[in-house]
Each structure stands twice: as C-alpha cells, then as structure tokens.
Structure 1
Amino acid sequence: MRIIGGTLKGLRLNPPKNLPVRPTTDLAKEALFNILLNQIEFEGIKVLDLFSGTGNISLEFASRGAAEVISVDRSIHCVNYLKDTSRQHKLDQVKVYKEDVFKYLQMETEQYGLVFADPPYDLNKIPEIPKIVFERNILLPGALLIVEHQSMQNISQHPAFVEQRKYGHSSFSFFRAAE
C-alpha cells in the first residue's frame, strides 16, 4: 500500500498484519483518483471516509490537500494506526473517530464535498449507505458519494446513482447530490 499522489506521494504504508481490513488495492485506488482528478478539486475539500480501516483513502486525500478528512471506523486498532500515521506525517486535517458508521451517520450534521465508504464486502447493509447519506443531507450540492463494494453486487437503485466502475472483484459506485 502506498500514497500515489500529493505531498506524500510514494510513501509506503505498513499497517500491522492483524487489522480487520481489506484495503483498496493500489490499482483500484489509482484508477479512482484518476477519475476524481477530473471531477473535483482536492485542495480545500472536506471529506468523510466511512469504514476507513488503515486510512489508505483518508491519507491519500490529506496528501492531496484536503482541508479536513473525517475518518470513521469501529476497530480501535485501525483508529490507533490511522491516528499514529497522521500524527507521524503531520496531517492535522485528519480526524479519526472510533464509532459504528451507521450510528455516526445518524448523528452527523456536517456536509461534505465527498463521502467515501468502503464497508466490509459481506455487510448486508451496504445499499443503506446511499439512502442514509442522502436522507441526512450529508453531501454539499453537487458533491459525490462513492461506495466500494463487490463487483457482483448492484447498488444502483438509488435515484442519485451515476455510474459503477469495476476493477476486478471490486467496484466503485458513484452517487451525486443535486446542484
């Protein structure tokens, strides 16, 4: 795992082996950020990273100039790793919370320029993520929600669905808030 762009480009991340994660592959992450490069301005964006795990995506956004990155995961080991890594690389804009993502979303009152969710693939509540994000008005007008999931899963039923991009067994489904 490595940071592929921004001020920390090339930094190798070496999380402990015992973390309960399935990190986004470098190939899929590179493809995702190439897509985003043409759709959003990284500098100054406020990002919500749900099921943040190792913080691979959070750190990538911070490296690329995000003003604030809120990372939420229920594993204390993941939370501690991401806090330590952020502190070590002086990424003060990364704020990490140990919380169940669905409980967090029910309490969230802020709006974001981008929400990224990488839930465990076997989680049966994945289709609820877009529903909750849009019901709670968590995206700024025109902002994106991106949900990573198994390619065989279809979560395109939400009216804000834009497209699905497949990278082997992983897919990114994109949803856009109305302008």
Structure 2
Amino acid sequence: MKKKLGSIRIVSGKLKGRKIYFQDSEGLRPTADRVKETLFNWLMFKIHDKNILDLFAGSGNLSFESLSRGAAQIELIEKEQRTFKTILENISQLNATEINAINQDSFDYLTSTQKKFDIVFIDPPFNKELVQKSIDMIADRDILNPDAYIYLETESSLTQLEIPSNWKLVKEKKISNVMIKLFQVNN
C-alpha cells in the first residue's frame, strides 16, 4: 500500500491494533478514538452478528471497527472516488470479506436498496445539511429491522432535527465539537 496521509487504529475486537489508512479529502473527518470508544461501548452487546449500513463512510473507520467486533455484514457507502479506492485497499489488506463497499452517493443508495439493517451509521460531512435528509429518507424507506439502532454523529451546533416518532433516543453525548446520539426504532 502506498504512503497515506493518515491512519486510524482499530481499538477492540479481532482486529485490535490494526491500522486502516485514509487520504485527506474535503469533509473527511474520521471519528475520533474517544467518540468511537463511546459509541462502541453503547453498542457493545448489540453489534455481534448484525447487518450494518455505514452511510457517508469516509475512511471506513466505523465499518472496520464494527467488523472487528463481530458484525455479520456491512454495507459501506462512500461516493468520493479517491477515498473509496483507499477503502478497497484497506478491505484487501485486512481480508474484510464481510464489508461490501459501494462507490455511490448515500442518498442514491437509500433510494435503491432493498436490504434491511440492524444498525445504521449516519456520520456525514459537517455543515452540509445532510443529516435531516438522511433521517427523512431512512424513515420513508423500509430498510430497518425491528428494534434497529440509528447512530448520528453531527456538529454540536446542529440542534434542530426532526426525529421520527418511533425513534427513541437511547444515549447522547457531546464530545468537544461533536454531538453523538443513538436511537432505537420502536415498532
């Protein structure tokens, strides 16, 4: 693998200590270790053998951490070509056959997918007004399994979101300039 601008360590599970690499690109903001640790503590007993959708995957950080912790299948969606190419290199290096990486716009993917998921990660580039559109599209599509979890990672200044009435807030935390929230679907 050629030299990259950055790397992220997988913090737990079967791939603990391994690194994934990423190239810098506009809006790419890999989830910080402290945020990632909090998220996966929340999901600790919920991720094993689950089907996961990682929208706006960026570096693929959340997908690779999920894989390491026992997720069954992961759909990783990233539209930026250079970033996607690096994700494919990381998948190959880690022999991550459970990750299906798709080079597509997340909204286009949501429009066309027929799959169902147990956990959805929504972590788009900040300050681009992508979070509410993601929430709305997921709520309008039949892609969530019963009792599914939805993780939002947003800029802390984003305070006005319309959340579907059947999404129950389970956990939330502000870490630096990032707000993270975990919802569970009540069917």
Q: Is the 8 A contact 2:30 2:61 kept in 1?
A: yes
The aligned counterpart of 2:31 is 24
Measured after TM superposition, the shift of residue 125 of structure 1 is 3.0
Q: Is the 8 A contact 2:122 2:153 kept in 1?
A: yes
The 1:119/1:84 distance shift into structure 2, 3 A limit, reads same
Measured after TM superposition, the shift of residue 6 of structure 1 is 0.8
Q: Which runs of 5+ in 1 are unaligned?
A: none
**After TM superposition, where is structure 1 displaced by more than 3 Å over at least 4 residues in a row?**
none
Measured after TM superposition, the shift of residue 12 of structure 1 is 2.6
TM-score by length of 2: 0.88
Q: Percent identity?
A: 28
Q: Is the 8 A contact 2:54 2:120 kept in 1?
A: yes
**What is the aligned residue count?**
176
- Range 169-178 or range 58-67, more displaced: 169-178
Query: 148, 152, 165: which is aligned to 1:147?
Result: 152
Give 1:50's aligned amino acid.
L
Pairwise CA RMSD: 1.5
Query: What are the equivalent positions in structure 2 for 1:24-43 lying under 5 Å apart?
Result: 24-38=31-45, 40=46, 42-43=47-48
Give CA deviations for 1:116-143 in whole Å, capped at 9, x if unaligned. Answer: 0110101113112112112102111101
The aligned counterpart of 1:172 is 180
Q: Which runs of 5+ in 2 are unaligned?
A: 1-7
Give 1:178's aligned amino acid.
N
2:146 pairs with 1:138: no
Give 2:176's aligned amino acid.
G
Measured after TM superposition, the shift of residue 52 of structure 1 is 0.4
Query: What are the equivalent positions in structure 2 for 1:48-59 lying under 5 Å apart?
Result: 48-59=53-64
